Amino acid sequence: MKFELIQLPYAPDALAPAISAETLSFHHGKHLAGYVNTLNSLIEGTEFADASLEEIVCKSEGALFNNAGQTLNHNLYFTQFAPNAGGAPTGKLLAAIEAKWGSFEAFQQEFLTACTTLFGSGWAWLAAKADGELVITKEPNGSNPVVHGLRPLMGIDVWEHAYYLSYQNRRADHIKDVWGIIDWSVVASRY
């Protein structure tokens, strides 16, 4: 198999309460594993057999696009977290956020709005243009900012499987708690 299920860099209960061990078990161990396995079966023997995830997302459609997109999205998602993280970014990333939104708090509010106003299932992303300007995008289903020529920096999964076991219909409460586990050094390294 070309693509493998990523190993989590933290214990299953390390992100609680924002992401419970039970949610992580289903989200990583079932949902992401399913996307990875399906992606591998769909690319076997095709022009995409040796392509990167980003290439597949940018050049495919249908089931292949959905499974490649969700694999890419979740790989970025699960690796941007750390226990006892949070706070605010520093350096160039913070300067770019402040230049775009005026303050980190204003950015957080706009990002929360993007998360809570995305109808149905999908992702909210902090992404960068080629010139370094930051943008917030709302991507339906399994899409990713790479399809718009952007570099994804931080994504929040707003599919119900990401939060429903602990938060039920309280998506905004989940997003507010996720700020406490964002590893800004990882996000900054993507910038």
In angstroms, rounded to a whole number, what is the distance separating the alpha carbons of residues 96 and 78? 24
The order of strands in the sheet holding 151-157 is: 134-140, 122-128, 151-157
DSSP β-bridge partners for residue 157: 123
Q: Is 74 annotated as a binding residue?
A: yes
Q: Is 27 annotated as a binding residue?
A: yes
Backbone CA torsion sign across 181, 105, 186, 59? positive
Q: Is 28 annotated as a binding residue?
A: no
Question: Concatenated DSSP letters for 125-189?
Answer: EEEE-TTS-EEEEEEETT--GGGGT-EEEEEEE-SGGGTHHHHTT-HHHHHHHHGGGB-HHHHHH
Q: Is 174 annotated as a binding residue?
A: no
What residues form the annotated binding site for Mn(2+)?
A: 27, 74, 157, 161
What residues form the annotated binding site?
A: 27, 74, 157, 161
